[in-house]
Amino acid sequence: MSVQGLRVIKPGALSLIQDTGRWGFQHYGLSPGGAMDEHAARWANKLLANPPHAALLEITLGNVELEAEIACLIAITGARQPISLNNQPVRNWTSVQLHPGDRLKIGFANSGQRSYLAVAGGFQLAGNFGSVATVQREQIGAFSGQPISKADLLPCRPSCPERPVRSVPWRFIPDYDQPLTLRVIPGYQADQFNPQALKTFYASDYSLSSDSNRMGFRLSGETLDSGLSGLLSEGISYGAIQIPPDGQPIILLKDRQTLGGYPKLGTLLPLDAFRLSQCRPGTVLRFEMISLQAAQAVMRPFYNFFALSL
Amino acid sequence: MRYRVEVAGVDSLLLRFDLPAEQAAISVAACADQLKSRLGSSVIDLIPAYNSLLITYDLMQLDDPTIRQQIAAILDQYIPDTDQETGRRIKIPVCYEPEFAPDLAVISSQLSLPVADIIELHCTAEYEVQAVGFAPGFAYMGTLSERLLLPRKATPRVEVPAGSVAIAERQTAVYPQASPGGWWLIGRSPVTLFDAQSEPPGLLQVGDRVSFEPISAAELKRLQS
């Protein structure tokens, strides 16, 4: 039997196969990559009782059209956007049964940046080093590290018999247009920072710059002088907030380089970094501190919840 | 081993070893190996660089106080074997002929050193891999002879060919892929430094001892094919 799945009619501006990342290879210089908003991505897999690491599609700003070649159960979460199945509206944050010949249309996102399309059993694609996460800069992951294009096949297993439709409860669906205060775990060089720079950072509004991508988000606002220079490169963790010589913070996200030598004042709570990944340029951001203990008490239940099957 | 521990995220710690940055690689790599073998699956990633080591661990298996205790139990009494006779040694062939060494002539006049002396200084020393990053497989190796000390180029090249052997400050490196780059190019190697299809994907790891072996343009061509 030939490989079947979802056929790409319209690929959208940037649609990438992702999972929860490529771990254990950063000492070779490989970026972990992975879904930018793990909150929405993990929900998409959970709705289908997939393992958290199952391959799914990360769609940036919508405008995607797919045709089902087999019967399969999918789920879409994340950015708010019109979705239709054979021209009938379909809800976001819910599972949907597709039949052969069905056309799924995802319109332009009007709130949030990224949506996730998962399929029961996960997309059946080969990757590198245990992960399909697409890192374009490294040309690694599914589709040789490139976004999906027109006429590509996203292979999946047929899901029969049909399973009941499941939805994410309303209280877990974020409003991506709400103002945002991001929680920071102080760390790295925070103790050596010029205290005035830290004071300014936690007291000011920053705006998300359009010069932002999967590697890092740049902020613009009050200039910070860390008082530190000439540091050696060191390992960079997810959500690290670095202050380059121009004094405008950069938050390092999923496709970050593994090493960096700019002073860092701490890292974002991952849950808040996921939420930040949905923000559009111009979004106003504020920061507050969270203790490491409190941060671990937030993240552990999050990972445990998604590790369990529904 | 003596080290300081810093928080580097909800699931990450940065160990800073009490060692000079340029002489730390072999010890830090040995500590990373110890931690990896003793902590097993509760450690997700270990990134050594100079005298630091970033440890990312699985929050579902460990919390901050527990991993700190475990690290202390493993490293506090540990003395890495830094004996010259141990560890991996890797030889990298390099063609220093002008066609593949676009910056050699400029460096020669800047440093007032004959080209032959530059090549000699570069290929008679043994280097240690001090960090791997910037791009997959890019290894920062030191320590380069003081007589070859140059700052990075003021204007980086838009594209440096894959296999370019380069120097800057007190370090040398081989570009694994074609990429932009601000180092001085003094030769070309036929060696594959990074291959996403092989396991392990990278030729060089922190703590490896590396030396360069001059080859002719004809040998370079032969080894490239």
Shared domain check, B153 and B60: no
- Total domains in chain B come to 2
Residues of A within 8 A of B37 (CB-CB) are: none
Q: Give the mean pLDDT of B22-50.
A: 96
- Per the CB < 8 A criterion, the answer to whether A221 and A205 are in contact is yes
Q: Dihedral angle at the C-alpha atoms of A123, A124, A127, A129, nearest 10 degrees?
A: 100
Show the beta-strand stretches assigned E in A11-102. Answer: 14-18, 56-60, 62-68, 72-80, 83-85, 88-90, 94-98
Cβ of residue B33 closer than 8 Å to a chain A Cβ: no
Residues of B within 8 A of A300 (CB-CB) are: 59-60, 63
Range of the domain at B113: 89-224
Domains and CATH numbers, chain A: 5-158 (no CATH), 180-305 (2.40.100.10)
DSSP A79-115: EE--EEETTEEE-SSEEEEE-TT-EEEEEE-SEEEEE
Place of tokens 């199952």: A54
Q: What is the enclosing helix (H) or strand (E) of A301?
A: helix A292-307
Shared domain check, B219 and B186: yes
| Residue A172 CB contacts under 8 Å (≥ 6 apart), including other chains | A43
Q: How distant, in Å, are the alpha carbons of A18, A19, A108, A268, B121 from that of B127? A: 38, 38, 53, 37, 12
DSSP B160-197: EPTTEEEEETTEEEE-SS-EEE-SEEEEE-----B-TT
Final residue of a domain: which of B75, B102, B118? Answer: B75
Report how far apart the first and last C-alpha atoms of chain B are (Å, whole number). Answer: 46
For residue B18, being part of any structural domain is answered with yes
Residue of B nearest to A24 (CA): B45
Q: Dihedral angle at the C-alpha atoms of B212, B214, B220, B224, nearest 10 degrees?
A: -10
Pairing of strands B171-174, B164-168: antiparallel
Shared domain check, B104 and B147: yes
Cα–Cα distance for residue pair A27/A1, rounded to 1 Å: 40
Pairing of strands B89-95, B209-215: parallel
Shared domain check, B212 and B101: yes
pLDDT exceeds cutoff 90 at B199? no
Cβ of residue B53 closer than 8 Å to a chain A Cβ: yes
Shared domain check, B97 and B47: no
- Tell me the per-residue pLDDT of A73-104, one tens digit each, with 9 for 90 and over: 999 999 999 999 999 999 999 999 999 999 99
For residue B185, being part of any structural domain is answered with yes
CATH number of the domain bearing residue B127: 2.40.100.10
Distance from CA of B115 to the nearest CA of A (A): 30
Residue A282 burial class via C-beta count within 10 angstroms: exposed 0-12, middle 13-18, buried 19 and up: exposed
Shared domain check, B62 and B94: no
**Contact between chains at B197 and A299 (C-beta distance less than 8 A):** no
Cβ of residue B121 closer than 8 Å to a chain A Cβ: no
For residue B84, being part of any structural domain is answered with no
CA nearest to B141, candidates B106, B103, B176: B176
Shared domain check, B103 and B67: no
pLDDT at site A1 = 57
CATH number of the domain bearing residue B58: 3.30.1360.40
Q: Angle between the B115-124 and B104-111 helix axes, to the nearest 10 degrees? A: 100
Size of interface A-B (CB pairs under 8 A): 137
Shared domain check, B202 and B93: yes
Residue of A nearest to B9 (CA): A267
pLDDT exceeds cutoff 50 at B127? yes
Cβ of residue A120 closer than 8 Å to a chain B Cβ: no
Cβ of residue A188 closer than 8 Å to a chain B Cβ: yes
- Tell me the per-residue pLDDT of A164-175, one tens digit each, with 9 for 90 and over: 889 999 999 999
CA nearest to A254, candidates A167, A142, A138, A158: A138
Distance from CA of A100 to the nearest CA of B (A): 35
Shared domain check, B178 and B135: yes
pLDDT at site A15 = 98
Cα–Cα distance for residue pair A131/A142, rounded to 1 Å: 8
What's the pTM value of the predicted model, to 2 decimals? Answer: 0.95
Paired tokens of B155: 């204007």
Q: Could you list the pLDDT tens digit for every one of the 310 residues in chain A?
A: 578 999 999 999 999 999 999 999 999 999 999 999 999 999 999 999 999 999 999 999 999 999 999 999 999 999 999 999 999 999 999 999 999 999 999 999 999 999 999 999 999 999 999 999 999 999 999 999 999 999 999 999 988 666 788 999 999 999 999 989 999 999 999 999 999 999 999 999 999 999 999 999 999 999 999 999 889 999 999 999 999 999 999 999 999 999 999 999 999 999 999 999 999 999 999 999 999 999 999 999 999 999 965 4
pLDDT at site B197 = 86
At A14, the amino acid letter reads L
- Tell me the per-residue pLDDT of B72-114, one tens digit each, with 9 for 90 and over: 999 998 998 887 777 799 999 999 999 999 999 999 999 999 9
For residue B184, being part of any structural domain is answered with yes
Shared domain check, B142 and B52: no
For residue B83, being part of any structural domain is answered with no
Shared domain check, B98 and B67: no
Final residue of a domain: which of B43, B75, B107? Answer: B75
For residue B81, being part of any structural domain is answered with no
pLDDT at site A310 = 47
- Tell me the per-residue pLDDT of B138-188, one tens digit each, with 9 for 90 and over: 999 999 999 999 999 888 899 999 999 999 999 999 999 999 899 999 999
Shared domain check, B149 and B55: no
Residue of A nearest to B203 (CA): A28
pLDDT at site A133 = 98
For residue B80, being part of any structural domain is answered with no
Distance from CA of A80 to the nearest CA of B (A): 29
| Residue B40 CB contacts under 8 Å (≥ 6 apart), including other chains | none
For residue B29, being part of any structural domain is answered with yes
Residue of B nearest to A296 (CA): B10
B194 phi, psi to nearest 5 deg: -145, 130
pLDDT at site A11 = 98
Final residue of a domain: which of B26, B42, B75? Answer: B75
